[in-house]
Structure 1
């Protein structure tokens, strides 16, 4: 199944003898929302399922900001992939990082030299941060697209508090700048503002509320541009009520050590810059030899097969799929979930000798939380919620989508504890 071979030789002849019987092999690369949706469809199908991911767990990305701000523990949002596959008789997990795709000979190569051959391939390798070529942004700011990154951000936040408690507040050490006014940026800014006040209330009583500043920078004229204007304005008001300074129509010129410079000429000294301004495809995509379009995303046909490839599907953030109007689908959880499921079903159709069907995205709505009892939701059919109803809906939806009963119970317990014991919670620096 997995082997290092001379790539001048036939991949299938070298690895075919390692297959389980004569079942066709479907390889799923990436176990995010798209990959998990595909796995669910293929779990009991008459195929040999191989899942490849650089981690041996899947991460519930929408709640990473809560890990970064100590609302949840890292284990609450991670679930073992081998447990996901445990009920499937003909499934394997391979921990590794994608390095190449050979569409002609039908194999993928991993960074460590291993190869995995396939009959059908689903690429759902997610996305990374986009820094738009801004000087210093990548080197001097932090993102939360992985579990390790979220824990790292949490460490940095509390390191700043500990430094200020020991050495005093100067040079913006307790100024936290969030770049990007989309859902991730709004959720981060609101959570940091609330965390700061909880920490000051219980752990850092030598510091005052005026010592901590949270600044949210958005280059457009309003926050949460994907939402209705009324909900965007509600989010702005709620953030300001929590002490967040919201700067609209501002663009970052450069990120320097302890200083962020805006194109307006404004300079903000800070202790930490958090980047939530946009996402890009992983760098490896440009090396795969597959056709790419806008934003470097892999071009796919109506059935989500990669253009020019009969046996490769691309789904989720990495795929340039479109809606009925021809506009690119947003790089969000719902398009990934629906795309992963669709790709898996098309593979089963092809194996059964049937034609594929075009992908039809169903917009089920979007949500974002701002803080305690404050959220916004825009649901299918034009239903708009804000405040406590939206917040409760957000909580219930996210718990429902978590994998594993233990994770669901742990998240519910943590959220209930934080709600009932406002101001208390674990605020430790991990990893030295």
Structure 2
């Protein structure tokens, strides 16, 4: 028997997020050739992405090159490319460059994108937060709004520029709203001569009856109170019905603004159609107890692109912890399969709890029967997120930036190369301005 007659199995993992990276790492030492494919060249720590968007952290603080993370894993290679389809019958992945990537086993970890609930036309008037590019675009937009307001002496223009609306009161929406409010109320408070950034209006809109509905009601109530103490207008039971270039309509209220951040519903990326799998209403692939696609035991779906129901038929939440545990599970399963060993039992999610931060020194934590609020919860949140960062440099830089922000109320990533010209800026300028 020679290697040519029995080539090593080929495993393709699509997506370098929490699930995909966990799967590749779990396959270390496996007698297989692994290819990790992603549109970017980095692994992103998404839970802190909102801090890049609000100038707390720099991109390099929460992202690490995938090649660096897999540098010492001899059976893994990284391919920066966009997947445009899969031929599941021929077991080939189609790349945007026109090439095909053959596989014996395929792991889909493509994540999710934001859904506008059938109103795709709203996308051009809003900003979303899923990638580093999104975060940098939001950061530029937020900081430029204050710079442009400083140049205008028209009260209506200034009011519109300094009105920020966040749609969706899940963790991302709550964290964004709280951090934008602190940016205006504290960090920028003394930096401008002609405007008072503390007069900025931050609105958090939620179509449901409470914020952070995945948490117990008492924690949701605490979060709402903390948001309101930051000066945020929290609008509950107020669905968005219109969004256009000049603002939006929430319930019966019209809000004029050019700063709309969409943090509402999500939909899985279109991997279900690639492999002809049954999809849930949000596009996620319905998977079996071992995370495989029904009828295709060589294909697995993990994280936000999958719908995995526990024994009570409740789908698992869209959390980084779910994706990481599923990725590790699938990696170990494939390792056992290739080695001819017994497969592990069905996947079972170990719920380690959920956390959300609400501005400086305020957070909520739900850990089984233990609920924490306030500064203690914030300390727990900070420690957990520091430890989850993938490398020591990231932990050190985030710690330094958080310490700086804590003691000085400053932000370390506030530079603008060039501010975009906003249609809200009118010709009238302050005396002495060009």
Question: TM-score scaled by structure 2?
Answer: 0.91
Could you tell me which runs of 5 or more consecutive residues in structure 1 were left unpaired when the two chains were aligned: 1-15
Q: How does 1:145-184 map to 2 (within 5 A)?
A: 145-168=130-153, 169-171=155-157, 172-184=160-172
Using the TM superposition, give the Cα deviation of residue 54 of structure 1 relative to its aligned residue in structure 2, in angstroms: 0.5
Deviation string 1:304-335 (CA, Å, 9 cap, x unpaired) is: 00111010000000001111211111111111
Among candidates 64, 76, 80, match of residue 65 of structure 2:
80
| Contact persistence 2:13–2:36 (CA under 8 A) | yes
For the residues of structure 2 that align with 1:66 and 1:87, how far apart are their CA atoms?
30
| Contact persistence 1:176–1:273 (CA under 8 A) | yes
Using the TM superposition, give the Cα deviation of residue 211 of structure 1 relative to its aligned residue in structure 2, in angstroms: 3.0
| Contact persistence 2:57–2:413 (CA under 8 A) | no
SS, match of residue 313 in structure 1: strand
Range that drifts further, 369-378 or 356-365: 356-365
For this pair of structures, how many residues does the alignment match? Answer: 413
Q: How does 1:13-162 map to 2 (within 5 A)?
A: 22-134=7-119, 136-162=121-147
Using the TM superposition, give the Cα deviation of residue 430 of structure 1 relative to its aligned residue in structure 2, in angstroms: 4.1
Could you tell me which runs of 5 or more consecutive residues in structure 2 were left unpaired when the two chains were aligned: 420-434
SS, match of residue 406 in structure 1: helix
Name the residue aligned to 2:427: none
Using the TM superposition, give the Cα deviation of residue 270 of structure 1 relative to its aligned residue in structure 2, in angstroms: 1.2
Name the residue aligned to 1:321: 308
Name the residue aligned to 1:6: none
For the residues of structure 2 that align with 1:191 and 1:424, how far apart are their CA atoms?
11
Question: Cα gap change, 1:52/1:313 in structure 2, threshold over 3 Å: closer, same or farther?
Answer: same
Question: Cα gap change, 1:397/1:430 in structure 2, threshold over 3 Å: closer, same or farther?
Answer: farther
Deviation string 1:407-427 (CA, Å, 9 cap, x unpaired) is: 111100000011111245442
Name the residue aligned to 1:345: 332
Name the residue aligned to 1:393: 380
For the residues of structure 2 that align with 1:206 and 1:409, how far apart are their CA atoms?
37
| Contact persistence 1:43–1:85 (CA under 8 A) | no
For the residues of structure 2 that align with 1:91 and 1:431, how far apart are their CA atoms?
40
Range that drifts further, 349-358 or 307-316: 349-358
| Contact persistence 1:135–1:253 (CA under 8 A) | no
| Contact persistence 2:177–2:203 (CA under 8 A) | yes
Deviation string 1:379-412 (CA, Å, 9 cap, x unpaired) is: 13x1100101110111111111111211111100
Among candidates 381, 405, 410, match of residue 418 of structure 1:
405
Deviation string 1:323-364 (CA, Å, 9 cap, x unpaired) is: 121111111111111111111111122223334521111111
Question: Cα gap change, 1:430/1:361 in structure 2, threshold over 3 Å: closer, same or farther?
Answer: farther
Range that drifts further, 340-349 or 392-401: 340-349
Range that drifts further, 52-61 or 134-143: 134-143
Using the TM superposition, give the Cα deviation of residue 136 of structure 1 relative to its aligned residue in structure 2, in angstroms: 3.6
Q: CA RMSD in A?
A: 1.8
Range that drifts further, 290-299 or 125-134: 290-299
Using the TM superposition, give the Cα deviation of residue 283 of structure 1 relative to its aligned residue in structure 2, in angstroms: 3.9
For the residues of structure 1 that align with 2:263 and 2:325, how far apart are their CA atoms?
24
Question: TM-score scaled by structure 1?
Answer: 0.92
Range that drifts further, 320-329 or 62-71: 320-329
Among candidates 178, 183, 202, match of residue 214 of structure 1:
202
